[in-house]
Amino acid sequence: MVEPLRPGRSRVGPDVRIIAGAWKGRRLRGPTAPGVRPTSDRLRETLFNIVDVDLPDFRVLDGFAGTGALGLEALSRGASHVTFVERDRRAVDVIAANVRTCGAIDRCIIERGDFIDVARRLAGGPGFDLVLLDPPYDFADPGRLVDAAVDVLRPGGRIVLEHARRRGAPQPARAAIVRELRSGDSQLTFYVPSGPTDDGAH
């Protein structure tokens, strides 16, 4: 379900800020839905120091988007487009408000629904250069999310999963780990497809 970016009000949580780029320092609405855990400033900074999103037609898929802070950080740093995926209605309202705050309506789509279902629907579309996955740390099988993300990657694309450090990096069937970064209780694990994708990417 594609959510329209319409005006609305929601109870706001602690503010989140954009770290760098065109909207550096911009305050965003914080989480209102239970269990929404924005990626820390330190991890976001680390992620975008590694991944250069300031490239022509660079497309990002922000799964489990929460407040939208990760995707908006990518836009602030030069990404061309972000599709946000979030199933919680309150979180979707927060994302929509934050997109409006940044004046980014024409560069975003919000998809409300389950990530795997949305990924299936988006497969065969224009694809994404970067898929960001930040499920709850107690999510039962995050490797399934990585496998689903493979089908929406462009050639050369990467998947980044944030997860609890204590659980270790998932070993999905269709993607290989290329990098792991740890910060406190959290970890970022970078994946690339381990075999041919539907569009022939390796």
Give per-residue pLDDT as tens, 108-154.
Answer: 999 999 999 999 999 999 999 999 999 999 999 999 999 999 999 99
202 assigned to some structural domain:
no
Contacts of 86 (CB under 8 A, 6+ apart): 64, 65, 66, 92, 95, 110, 111, 112
89 assigned to some structural domain:
yes
198 assigned to some structural domain:
no
pLDDT band at 196 (very low <50, low <70, confident <90, very high): low
Give per-residue pLDDT as tens, 164-188.
Answer: 999 999 999 999 999 999 988 899 9
Domain containing residue 88: CATH number: 3.40.50.150
201 assigned to some structural domain:
no
168 assigned to some structural domain:
yes
Residue-range definition of the domain harbouring residue 64: 14-193
CA-based angle 130:131:132, to the nearest 5?
115
Tell which residue, 32, 28, 11, 10, has the closest CA to residue 19.
28
70 assigned to some structural domain:
yes
Q: How many domains does the chain have?
A: 1
47 assigned to some structural domain:
yes
Cross-strand pairs, 85: 63, 111
- Does residue 6 register a pLDDT over 50? no
6 assigned to some structural domain:
no
